[in-house]
Amino acid sequence: RMAHLAIEGVSKLFGTTFAVRDFSLEVGDGELVCLLGPSGSGKSTLLRMIGGFEHPTGGTIRIDAKNVTTLPPERRPTGMVFQSHALWTHMDVFNNIAFGLKLRRLPKVEIRQRVEDALALVGLADYGRRMTTQLSGGQQQRVALARSLVLEPKILLLDEPFASLDQHLRERLREEVRDIQQRLGITTLFVTHGQDEALALADRIVVMRDGGTEQIAPPSTIYRQP
């Protein structure tokens, strides 16, 4: 599952404003990096460019040395989880997670096995037949995570996945994500504007401001309040 990510001089211009400006970063195999910064500092735009949902104005993004800068999301080995999960309300949990596998026309037995494994991984082993509308907010975000992981991405991209949840639940899910991330050894970028969240989760923290990096350091040596 491990992969190496290299972001080289990436910029994104919206109109006359740089959302991201000449940004460079390398993320190693199995590392968890938090992008931390105030609203509007370019965290989401950067993550969306890594996932292929936006294309850079300039610069290069490589995954395992392959240039993916202009590839669409479905042709990248990335999986993205958004703040609002956008689960399909007309499908049960199983089918929400199976959807991407069905598109790939995998055999039914393999789909069933992989969905069951993904559900077990996020602690929802018996929830396959529930409708997503019957789930709590935290359970819905676990389904969103399973839906992403079932496609076996090499890089996991999480954009403030727990921002809409209360503090207690957010802390619990944070621990679960850290646990899953370490078990899979999956290279992960996690966007947050919460310093406590970044300190609890990250191997390294990238502090962003005005589309650039203000500081890059492990939690133990990060010193400046963003």
State which of positions 18-37 bind ligand ADP (CB under 6 A). Answer: 19, 37
42 binds ligand ADP (CB under 6 A): yes
84 binds ligand ADP (CB under 6 A): no
Minimum CB distance to ligand ADP, residue 48 (Å): 7
Looking at beta carbons only, is 17 or 24 nearer to ligand ADP? Answer: 17
41 binds ligand ADP (CB under 6 A): yes
- Measuring CA to CA, which residue among 41, 51, 83 is closest to residue 170? 83
Minimum CB distance to ligand ADP, residue 61 (Å): 15
192 binds ligand ADP (CB under 6 A): no
Write b or e for each residue in 65-104: b if 16 or more Cβ atoms lie within 10 A of its Cβ, otherwise e. eeebbebeeeebbbbbbbbebebeeeebbbbbbbbbbeee
Looking at beta carbons only, is 82 or 127 nearer to ligand ADP? Answer: 82
Q: Are the beta carbons of 89 and 133 closer than 8 angstroms?
A: yes
Minimum CB distance to ligand ADP, residue 41 (Å): 4
Would you give the DSSP letter of residue 221?
Answer: G
Total residues interacting with ligand ADP, rule: CB under 6 A: 12
Looking at beta carbons only, is 43 or 142 nearer to ligand ADP? Answer: 43
Looking at beta carbons only, is 36 or 119 nearer to ligand ADP? Answer: 36
Among 8, 29, 40, 71, binds ligand ADP (CB under 6 A): 40
d(CA 78, CA 84): 18
52 binds ligand ADP (CB under 6 A): no
SS (H, E, C) 85-144: CCCCCCCEHHHHHHHHHHHCCCCHHHHHHHHHHHHHHCCCCCCCCCEHHHCCHHHHHHHH
Q: What is the DSSP string of 19-58?
A: EEEEEEEEE-TT-EEEEE--TTSSHHHHHHHHHTSS--SE
Q: Which stretch binds ligand ADP (CB under 6 A): 2-10, 40-48, 59-67, 95-103?
A: 40-48
Q: Which residues of the chain form contacts with ligand ADP (CB under 6 A)?
A: 14, 17, 19, 37, 39-45, 83
